[in-house]
Amino acid sequence: NGQWGAPKNLGPQVNSAGNELFPYVDARGNLFFSSNGHGGLGGLDFFVARREGETWTLVGNLGEPFNSPADDVSISVAPSLSEGYLASDRQGGLGKDDLYHWEYDLSPVEATLVAVDGQSGAILPEAQINLKVTGYDNPMAQLYSPWNPDEPQALNTGPDGKVTALVPRGARFDIQTEKPGFQTDQRSADTESLTAEKEYRIPLNRTTLALDGLVVLEGTNDPVPLAGITIVDKTSGEKHRLDTDGEGSFRFELDCNHQYQITAFKDGHEESRLSLDNLLERCSEGTIREVLRLKQFVTLNLPKALFDFDRSDIRPDAAQALDKLVAILQKYPSMKIEVHAHTDSRGSEAYNEGLSQRRADSVRNYLLGKGIAPERVPVAKGWGESQLLNHCADGVPCSREEHAQNRRAEVRIVHFEEPGKILKPANR
């Protein structure tokens, strides 16, 4: 209605038991005043308060160079907010209270932040850096900061691992840096530390570790392409399945806080297993290389040298089977075997025992005749009818074919030691 209202006391946040003098409101509604009741550098000092709803909150003492040990009487702020005037009887003036012009640089400063691997120092692209203002060195920086303290600035590093931000002067920050595969970094810094060097580096510690695996043949170290790989996360229970590439290689990302069981497999080979525990101790390496070695099966279909009834000479079809055995013995010079011969149940036990021994000797002599050293076939034993393969015992009616199954010579491997090979007999 154009009439002056009754003055209202601004309350204890602004007023004190001392003197509050010379109020001034800037273009943003901030209240500047002089007081000798809020403490300070001495005499009257400049303070500023901010209105929040219906109440006023004291922001603080403006500090040096605005204040001095003497009486700092009144202050004004130009519309630009970067300069103004004040009255003070501080030392160095021309008389008692003198007028002074002041300037305050409000322009933000450029800070370059870089995320790096905490162990190797390598630059980390595509890291997210969140900057949150937590406070200011002086009220002027707080009043005129372009940043909203309630809204963190989300920054993302580029391919070079760097990001540049314009940060307010005189500010303090909480900095949170995140990148998949790395521990989140939490730290505090201020404008001065962010801009002291050309780059402000933020080291991140890894939480993942790259496994570069290679599957080779034991003995030759030849790579094994298209080998199956099973990776069991023993911590989470998850199971992963992949194959090696054409060079026998595979790659997998490991969690440094987990434990793993790695299995390599391929038809015709014995599985190879690897346990990966205590990965935290190796996480700083970034990448680990492990080799799994497969032993190739030597699948041996042991020949059963069949004999005609009541005969101990080698039949032509049995000779072909024994020739295959000779080839295997020649290929693997460490192999040693025993020959065990058997008869069917027809005839007396004593006769059959002698017949089986002649059959065992016949097989051994055949192998020796093909150039196999005697010490590689140290045993040739006949068992007679004591180890029948079927039900055709004495007095049991059986066909000729059933009796023929029991007339046999078995070859048993008693020694085999070849690099990268493992024996897998098909029968005994």
Counting every residue, how long is the chain? 428
Q: How far apart are the C-alpha atoms of 251 and 249, rounded to whole Å?
A: 7
pLDDT digits 0-9 by tens, 30-45? 999 999 988 888 889 9
How far apart CA 281 and CA 373 sit, in angstroms, is 54
Side chain identity at residue 211, one-letter code: L
For residue 14, give the nearest of 74, 77, 57, 43 by alpha carbon.
57
Fold of 109-204: Immunoglobulin-like (2.60.40)
Q: Tokens in use for 244?
A: 């090696």
Is the pTM of the predicted complex or chain greater than 0.75? no
Does domain 301-425 bear CATH number 3.40.50.620?
A: no
Report which of 197, 201, 177 is spatially closest to residue 187, judged by C-alpha positions: 177
Q: Residue 50 region, left (φ>0) first, then alpha (ψ -120 to 50), else beta?
A: beta
**pLDDT in single tens digits along all 428 residues of the chain:** 788 888 889 989 899 999 999 999 999 899 999 999 888 888 899 999 998 888 898 888 998 999 999 999 999 999 988 899 999 999 888 888 999 999 988 889 999 999 998 877 889 999 999 999 999 988 888 888 888 877 889 999 999 989 999 999 989 999 999 998 888 999 999 999 999 999 999 999 888 889 999 999 988 899 999 999 999 999 999 999 999 999 999 999 999 889 999 999 998 788 899 999 989 888 878 899 999 999 876 655 555 556 677 777 788 878 888 898 899 899 989 989 888 888 889 889 999 999 999 989 999 999 999 999 999 999 999 999 998 989 999 889 999 889 888 888 888 887 888 776 767 655 44
Closest CA to 309 of 182, 227, 398: 398
CATH of 208-296, one of 2.60.120.380, 3.30.70.20, 2.40.170.20, 2.60.40.10: 2.60.40.10
- Sequence-distant (6+) residues with CB within 8 A of 342 are 356, 359, 382, 383, 384, 385, 386, 387, 388, 406, 407, 408, 409, 410
Tens digit of each residue's pLDDT (9 = 90 or more) over 369-422: 999 999 999 999 999 999 898 999 988 999 988 988 888 888 888 788 877 676
- In Å, how far from its chain's centre is CA 6? 70
Q: How far apart are CA 54 and CA 426, in angstroms?
A: 94
